Amino acid sequence: MIALESVNESKVAVVYHTGKVDSAKHLKIGPVPGESTAILPGYGIEYATCGTVRFKVKCENGHEGVRVNSCDRKECPVCSTRWANRRARKAAKRFWWIFENQDNHVSRSAKNARHVSLGIPPSMWGRPYLEVVKWATKALRDSLRSGGGLYVGHAWRFKDARGESVQWKHSDLNPQVVYPIIDSWAVYSPHVHFVIFGWLIPVDEFEAKYGCRYTYHSATPSELEVYFTIRYLLTHTALIEKHHSLIWFGKCSYNRVVLASEYKETVRALCPECHAPMLYETPEGTWAPWHIEITRRHYKFKVIQKYLEKIDPTELHITTPLRV
C-alpha cells in the first residue's frame, strides 16, 4: 500500500530518511527504572527491505524522488520518522475534530489548545517509569476541567558533556539531527507532555497540591501546529514494549469519541515542493500518473447519559426500591 503524507510535510513526503543509528549511541542512553528494554524511536533493528527503492517519482516541474519500502514500525532505524509523521497526522486530525466539535464553548477558543509538560518531583524518580507517568497523568487529568487531550511520556532529557541541556533537534542521538550537532547523552529525567484543551488549575495551586509545576510551552492554534507538536514529541518518546506511545484522555478518550467511518480514497499524488501532479516510473521505464491511497476518518461523540454523569452518586435518590 502506498500512503499519502501531507503536502505540508515538506520533502520527507517523497524521499525517506535512510540513515541508520550507530550502535555506539545505545550506550549514551540512560537506563529507565523498571523498563530495561526502553529505547528511543529508531533504536531497534530494521528489516532487509526497509528503505529499499520501489520506484522513482517526479513531478511535472521536475522535482525528483524515490518511493521506498517501509515497515512503519517505531523502533525501525529506517522507518521511525515515517511512523512519527503518520501517527502525528492521524492524532492531530482526531484532536482537532474533537476540539472544534465538543460542546463546551468556553474551551473552544483556539488559544485554548496548547502544549504543556509536567516534570516529576525528584523524590519519585526512583519509582518505576510507568508508575511515575501514571501518577503525572492522573495529576494533570484531575486538574483539567471540561477538557481533554493526549499525552506522550518522555523518559530522558538530553545533556552535553558538561551536563547542559541540549535540544533534541541538535542532539547527535537524533537520526534527524540538524546543525549544530551536539555530542549528547540521554539522561533519565521522566516527564510527560500533553496537548490539551480545557481549563487547567493555576500552576501555584497545582504545585501546592502535587509538589511539582507544569510548564506551558505554546498554544497550538491550528491542526498543523498540533501535528508539528505531536510529531516532535513522538520522535523522542520512550518506547515501552506493549504500551502505546500516545494516550488519549478526558473528552478525547476512546470511550467518549469513536470512529464513525473509515474509508480509503485514491487520489493523485502531489509534489511536496510545488504541489504539481506527480508521475512514477513504471517497470517498463515509462512515466505514468501516480495515484495514492489515503484514509479518511470520521469521528463521532458517543452518546453518554449526561444527567447521570453530572450528578454526584451520593445525591442520587433512588425512589424505586431495589429488588433483592
Cα–Cα distance between 275 and 288 in angstroms, integer? Answer: 17
Cα–Cα distance between 200 and 203 in angstroms, integer? Answer: 8
Question: What values do phi and psi take at 128, rounded to 5?
Answer: -55, 140
Q: Which stretch binds Zn ion (CB under 5 A): 64-72, 168-176, 224-232, 286-294?
A: 64-72
Asked if 244 and 143 count as a contact pair (C-beta separation under 8 A), the reply is no
Copy the grid coordinates of residue 124.
Answer: 519519585
CB 94 → Zn ion: shortest distance, Å?
25
Asked if 99 and 149 count as a contact pair (C-beta separation under 8 A), the reply is no
CB 168 → Zn ion: shortest distance, Å?
21
Cα–Cα distance between 166 and 242 in angstroms, integer? Answer: 29
For position 78 contacting Zn ion by CB under 5 A, the verdict is yes
CB 273 → Zn ion: shortest distance, Å?
4
| R_g over Cα of the chain | 22
For residue 29, the one-letter residue type is I
Residue closer to Zn ion by CB (options 133, 278) is: 278
Question: Measured in whole angstroms, how far is the alpha carbon of residue 179 from the centre of its chain?
Answer: 24
CB 56 → Zn ion: shortest distance, Å?
14
Q: Which stretch binds Zn ion (CB under 5 A): 58-66, 84-92, 215-223, 244-252?
A: 58-66
Looking only at residues 37 through 56 of this chain, which bind Zn ion when binding is defined by CB under 5 A?
46, 50
For position 14 contacting Zn ion by CB under 5 A, the verdict is no
Copy the grid coordinates of residue 19.
Answer: 540513515
CB 19 → Zn ion: shortest distance, Å?
12
CB 232 → Zn ion: shortest distance, Å?
21
Binding-residue total with Zn ion (CB under 5 A):
13
Does a cis peptide bond (omega within 30 degrees of 0) precede residue 190? no
CB 11 → Zn ion: shortest distance, Å?
10
Asked if 35 and 127 count as a contact pair (C-beta separation under 8 A), the reply is no
CB 76 → Zn ion: shortest distance, Å?
3
Residue closer to Zn ion by CB (options 268, 300) is: 268
Q: Among residues 39, 40, 68, 76, which is the contact residue for Zn ion, using CB under 5 A? A: 76
Looking only at residues 275 through 294 of this chain, which bind Zn ion when binding is defined by CB under 5 A?
276
Residue position matching grid coordinates 503525572: 136
For position 274 contacting Zn ion by CB under 5 A, the verdict is yes
For position 270 contacting Zn ion by CB under 5 A, the verdict is no
For position 271 contacting Zn ion by CB under 5 A, the verdict is yes
Closest CA relative to residue 166, chosen from 28, 35, 9, 23: 28
Question: Measured in whole angstroms, how far is the alpha carbon of residue 97 from the centre of its chain?
Answer: 16
Q: Among residues 38, 57, 79, 233, which is the contact residue for Zn ion, using CB under 5 A? A: 79
Q: Among residues 8, 61, 101, 167, which is the contact residue for Zn ion, using CB under 5 A? A: 61
Cα–Cα distance between 256 and 319 in angstroms, integer? Answer: 29
Binding site for Zn ion (CB under 5 A): 46, 50, 59, 61, 63, 71, 76, 78-79, 271, 273-274, 276
